[in-house]
Amino acid sequence: MKKIIIVLTAVVALWGCNQTPKYEIKGHLDGADAGWVYLSQQVDGKIVHADSAEIKNGDFTMSGTLEHPDIYYLQVKDKRGALLLFMQNNKLKVTGNVDSLWLAKAEGSPYQDDYNAYQEMLKPYEEQYRALYGQWQQAKMTGNADLAKKIEDQYDSLNKEQQKIDEQFIQDHPQSLVSPYLLRSMAYNMEGAEMEKYLDQMDTSFNSITFVKDLRDFAEAKKRVAIGQKAPDFALPDTSGNTVELSSLLGKGYILLDFWAAWCSPCRQENPNLVKTYLKYHDKGFDVVGISLDQDKNAWLGAIRKDGLLWTQVSELQGWKDPTAKKYAVRSIPSNFLLDKDGVIVARNLRGDDLKKKLAELLD
């Protein structure tokens, strides 16, 4: 009897080992008689292969175990493009053409099926985007600036409609991996508290995913620089290497912290407007501090001279690794923060006429 129990225990243990959750990707790619397919991720800006399989007569199979759900890309050696995959320990079927991998079809797992459903919802918008882009190109070619502006406004309006689709999807699918993926693209235009609300509703297993951790850090940083918060202090070198502390500039009026760079075209386009606003309101109590995300000092100094920037300029010349940009949750430029004399943030990302209107309200 004892032997039987031992044997049964061994069988159960072996069966348990065989039940370890695994992912399995089976695919067929037309035009790929041979080659290699990779399951990849972007880690610290670099592509890292997590798995691979040989392609034979267009067919391939790969399998393994994931510690947690995550987003991956399917790539083929020496071919451009990739297929977005929402991975979990489940089965996926991939079909498509090796020369247009981004258009291939992946289906079978719940997260991937969620993404496919989301893509179907976007198809009407994609058609409208294409039509508007064609009209915009024609207007530009013929020099019809008024029509081009009208089309740009239509594009913005369409984009806002799509954002509502994204928001509704996240609300309806908080347990789907597609939701944090969509939230990542929406995060730039959201408040930190709103981001945090969405994240708190999502599957807790997502908290182990690197980009979800990053979203939480981003939300925390955004909360620290929300309107009404005291702007974080900083001490940065100016163009001569002298240290400038934000706290030393407060108490005199309103200060605009302007995050920009010489290589940033929208920043350079906005600079003439900012110069005019500075000249109009400087004597009334308005100042600017430019915080550059440049890495090339000569390019930075050259842009300051060429654009006629009259205010204090500071930079650690670390590009996107700049600690102050991270402190202020800046992930796109131009970005700015308007501070009162006590260093409290009263407005953000005001440009052109919007900045003038706000200063007129505060200073005129």
Q: What is the pLDDT of residue 232?
A: 96
Do the bridges between strand 83-87 and strand 91-97 make them parallel or antiparallel, or are there none, so unpaired?
Answer: unpaired
List the chain domain ranges: 21-105, 112-224, 235-363
Where is 197: in which H helix or E strand?
helix 192-200
Q: What is the pLDDT of residue 18?
A: 54
- How does pLDDT run across 190-206, given as a tens digit for each residue? 899 999 999 999 999 89
Q: Say how far apart CA 218 and CA 86 lie, in whole Å.
A: 22
Q: What is the pLDDT of residue 11?
A: 41
The CATH class for the domain spanning 235-363 reads alpha beta
pTM: 0.81
Q: What is the pLDDT of residue 15?
A: 44
Q: Say how far apart CA 292 and CA 262 lie, in whole Å.
A: 8
- Residues with Cβ within 8 Å of 260's Cβ and at least 6 positions away in sequence, in order, are 267, 270, 271, 290, 291, 292, 293, 333, 334
pLDDT tens string, the chain, 364 residues long: the values are 544 444 444 444 444 445 688 999 999 999 999 999 999 998 877 889 999 999 999 999 999 999 999 999 999 999 999 999 999 999 999 999 999 999 999 999 999 999 999 999 999 998 899 999 999 999 989 999 899 899 999 999 998 899 899 999 999 999 999 999 999 989 988 899 999 999 999 999 899 999 999 999 999 999 999 999 999 999 999 999 999 999 999 999 999 999 999 999 999 999 999 999 999 999 999 999 999 999 999 999 999 999 999 999 999 999 999 999 999 999 999 999 999 999 999 999 999 899 999 999 999 7
Superfamily of domain 21-105: Immunoglobulins (2.60.40.10)
- How does pLDDT run across 20-31, given as a tens digit for each residue? 889 999 999 999
Assess whether the previous peptide bond of 334 is cis (omega < 30° from 0): yes
Q: How crowded is the C-beta side of 327, counted as CA atoms within 13 Å?
A: 13
Q: Which two tokens stand for residue 131?
A: 């039509």
Do the bridges between strand 23-30 and strand 91-97 make them parallel or antiparallel, or are there none, so unpaired?
Answer: parallel
